[in-house]
Amino acid sequence: MRRLLVLAPALVLLAGCNPSSPAKETPSSVPASSASASAGLPPDPQPARTAECPYLSNETVQDANGQHVTKVSVSDDEPHPTCFFYRPDGSLQLSVRVYVGKSDVATALVNKAAPVDTSNPASDPAGWKGGYQPAGDGVVYAVAKGEAAVIVTSNQKQSIKARTVAKKAIAALKL
């Protein structure tokens, strides 16, 4: 007991000097605005049914991504479903997610896909802002403008392929 009383003040002093104490971690944790924005994000889209993409043709994707499209699935998202394009071996080669709604959600979706701190800046087409970066074995190109966001994930490593698809989707939807 006597040892504990002698060591207690030393432990208190050491705890106060510890740079990883919980009081000091709070400012470096996720900002409240980011946490609340991610909490309000729609869930990641999932393929719901086999159907043609309403805003991109198979030929457009084949030409841009460099692989044949043998199957297309779409999500149940409205007003614009996410389109999933598959290769001849059945694996996913490209997906295009379009969001139209609140501008803060559009920006948060882009930042989730290609975080500002880690991705390369993207500003194509003109007026759109976001980023691109490696994603898995491919790349993601994500941009937002006002209330709209377009996120393209490709199994190809060249960002120009995903950027081309994003631009085609934006043009087709007149966003």
Q: What is the pLDDT along the chain (175 residues), one digit of tens a residue?
A: 444 444 444 433 334 444 333 333 333 333 333 333 455 899 999 999 999 999 999 999 999 999 999 999 999 999 999 999 999 999 999 999 999 999 999 999 999 999 988 999 999 999 999 999 999 899 999 999 999 999 999 999 999 999 999 999 999 999 9
Supply 164's token pair: 């081309």
Q: Rounded to 5 degrees, what angle do the CA atoms 68, 73, 79 make?
A: 125
The C-alpha atoms of residue 114 and residue 133 are separated, in whole angstroms, by: 6
- Using DSSP's 3-state secondary structure scheme, residue 49 falls into strand
Contact by Cβ (8 Å): 168, 175: no
- Using DSSP's 3-state secondary structure scheme, residue 140 falls into strand
Count how many residues are written for the chain: 175
Q: 136: which DSSP letter?
A: T
Cβ neighbourhood burial of 109 (10 Å; 0-12, 13-18, 19+): buried
